[in-house]
Amino acid sequence: MKYYLNKTVNYTFEEAIERVTALLKEHGFGVLTTIDVKETLKKKIDVDFKRYTILGACNPHSAYKALSLEDKLGVLLPCNVIVIEQDSGIEVCAIDPYSMMGQLGNQELIQIAEEVNKHFQEVFEKL
């Protein structure tokens, strides 16, 4: 089961982060957290890892609706978007909210997940 959306882009690593952050903002998402995985792994366990950044994206309106329906849903939030430096280029990936929420069996949550997924699809089309 594919649980994410992805696209390889023709940007530098930094440009990809800037571009995806700007496109998310256009769709009502803010980036609440930024985790530099390469730096964190080097600092914590002294290993070298490829460039890999996790952006914790949140659409406050969708989050409010979803949390109002299911208050434990916070374990799945924010929606992570990652930028990875691969041998083939810079890859941008995002969680497929529908694959997560569809498992919960709550039709109202599924509708919210479909809305968020639509936003992510549009972001990936513009990347």
* Structural domains present in the chain: 4-126 (3.30.310.70)
User: What is the percentage of the chain residues whose pLDDT exceeds 90?
Assistant: 90
CB 80 within 8 A of CB 57: yes
Closest CA to 41 of 31, 53, 32: 53
Per-residue pLDDT tens over the stretch 8-36: 999 999 999 999 999 999 999 999 999 99
Least confident of 32-36, 69-73, 103-107: 103-107
